C-alpha cells in the first residue's frame, strides 16, 4: 500500500446519475489514489454529453489522483445505455463492478470502496435476488453487515434493512440484535475512533410498546438483549420510544442510534442532512461508504445531479482509511 489511501469508486446504475457523480468528484483534488470501477466508454460518452472537462483514462493500478482525470478499471456494459432508461441486460456488468471493487478491498489492492447508487428493481428484473449493496457485500465479504448513515454528528444504524414492514417484527431476534449491536459498537471504535461508544436503541412499537399494551417485542426481545450486552460492557440505553428518541436533549452525548427498521430512523437523518449524508457498511471486513440517495433516473444525463453526498462519502472513506493506516 502506498502513502495515499487507494479508493475504488463503483459507477452504479449506468442509466442513472452514478457515472456523472464519479466524473463530478474527479474534478476535485483528493489526497488519495482514486480509480473508478465501471464502463470506460460509457464514462467517456457521459463526459462528452455533459460537457465535462474530466478525462476518463484506462488504468490497471490506481495512481495518485489528479483533478480533472478519472482513472478507470474498465467493466464494459453488455449494451449501450440511454440516461433514464433501465436495461436488465446491463445488470451483470453492474454487479461485476461491485465484485471487482470488493475483491480489491479484500486482497489489499484498495483501502476502501465508495459506491454510486444502483437500481434494485432492474437487478431483480434481470433475475438476481438483490436487496441492496449492504446485503450483497455481506455475502461477498462475510460478516454480518450493519447499515449506518452519518450526517454530521448524527449516526443512525438499522437493526433490519430492506424488508417489507410486515416482515420486520419476526426479523428482530435476540441473536440478530446481539450481532448488530456488537458490530455497531466495534465499528464505532474501529472506524470512528470512539473509545467507549454510547448507543441509543429504539423500541419497535409506538411508545416502545407502552408496557406491553402496544406490542411486546420490547419486553420479550429488545430489553433482555440490551441487558445482556450491558453486562458484557456495551453502553446502551433503551428501548426508547422512537418519537422522542431524536430530540436534542436525548441525543446529547450519544454516539449512535439503532433504529429497528429502515423508515423508523432514516427519515430523521435524511431530513437533517439529505444530499450530504453518507451510508457506511459496518460489520464486514472491508471499508465501504456510499451516497444517501438513489439513481435519480428522472434527471440522469442532464447535468443536474448534486455530487454532495458522493463527495462526502469519498471524504469519509479517505478519512477512515487514513486513520486505520495510522493506527496499524
Contact predicate 300/84, CB 8 Å: yes
Say whether 263 sits in a helix, a strand or coil.
helix
Q: Judge if pTM exceeds 0.75.
A: yes
**Grid coordinates in use for 26?**
474527479
Give the pLDDT confidence of 215-274 residue by residue, as tens digits.
999 999 999 999 999 999 999 999 999 999 999 999 999 999 999 999 999 999 999 888
End-to-end CA distance of the chain: 12
**Grid coordinates in use for 223?**
430489553
Q: How confident is the model at residue 49 (pLDDT cuts 50, 70, 90)?
A: very high
Residue 135: is its pLDDT beyond 50? Answer: yes
Q: What is the pLDDT of residue 326?
A: 84
Give the whole-number percent of the chain exceeding pLDDT 90. Answer: 91
Q: What is the pLDDT of residue 1?
A: 42
Give the pLDDT confidence of 101-111 residue by residue, as tens digits.
999 999 999 99
Q: What is the pLDDT of residue 143?
A: 86
Domain annotation for the chain: domains and CATH numbers: 1-131+286-328 (3.40.718.10), 144-283 (3.40.718.10)
Burial (0-12, 13-18, 19+ Cβ within 10 Å), 14:
buried
Residue 2: is its pLDDT beyond 60? Answer: no
Residue 147: is its pLDDT beyond 50? Answer: yes
Amino acid at each position: 500500500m502506498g502513502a495515499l489511501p487507494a479508493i475504488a469508486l463503483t459507477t452504479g446504475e449506468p442509466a442513472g446519475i452514478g457515472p456523472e457523480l464519479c466524473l463530478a468528484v474527479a474534478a476535485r483534488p483528493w489526497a488519495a489514489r482514486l480509480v473508478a470501477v465501471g464502463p470506460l466508454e460509457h464514462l467517456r460518452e457521459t463526459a462528452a454529453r455533459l460537457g465535462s472537462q474530466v478525462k476518463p483514462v484506462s488504468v490497471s493500478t490506481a495512481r495518485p489522483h489528479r483533478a480533472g482525470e478519472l482513472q478507470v478499471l474498465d467493466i464494459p456494459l453488455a449494451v449501450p445505455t440511454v440516461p433514464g432508461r433501465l436495461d436488465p441486460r446491463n445488470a451483470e456488468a453492474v454487479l461485476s463492478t461491485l465484485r471487482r471493487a470488493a475483491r480489491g478491498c479484500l486482497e489489499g489492492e484498495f483501502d476502501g470502496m465508495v459506491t454510486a447508487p444502483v437500481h434494485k428493481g432492474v437487478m431483480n428484473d434481470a433475475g438476481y435476488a438483490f436487496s441492496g449493496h449492504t446485503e450483497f457485500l455481506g455475502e461477498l465479504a462475510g460478516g454480518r453487515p450493519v447499515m449506518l448513515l452519518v450526517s454530521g454528528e448524527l449516526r443512525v444504524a438499522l437493526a433490519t434493512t430492506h424488508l417489507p414492514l410486515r416482515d420486520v417484527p419476526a426479523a428482530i431476534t435476540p441473536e440478530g440484535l446481539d450481532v448488530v449491536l456488537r458490530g455497531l459498537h466495534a465499528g464505532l471504535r474501529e472506524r470512528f475512533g470512539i473509545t467507549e461508544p454510547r448507543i441509543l436503541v429504539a423500541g419497535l412499537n409506538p411508545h416502545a410498546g407502552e408496557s406491553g399494551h402496544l406490542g411486546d417485542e420490547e419486553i420479550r426481545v429488545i430489553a433482555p438483549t440490551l441487558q445482556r450486552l450491558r453486562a458484557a460492557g456495551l453502553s446502551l440505553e433503551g428501548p426508547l420510544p422512537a418519537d422522542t428518541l431524536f430530540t436534542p436533549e436525548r441525543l446529547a452525548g450519544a454516539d449512535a442510534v439503532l433504529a429497528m427498521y429502515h423508515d423508523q430512523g432514516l427519515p430523521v437523518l435524511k431530513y437533517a442532512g439529505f444530499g450530504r449524508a453518507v451510508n457506511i457498511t459496518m460489520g464486514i471486513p472491508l471499508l465501504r461508504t456510499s451516497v444517501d440517495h438513489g439513481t435519480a433516473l428522472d434527471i440522469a444525463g442532464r447535468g443536474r445531479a448534486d455530487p454532495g453526498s458522493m463527495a462526502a462519502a469519498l471524504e469519509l472513506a479517505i478519512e477512515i482509511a487514513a486513520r486505520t493506516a495510522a493506527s496499524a
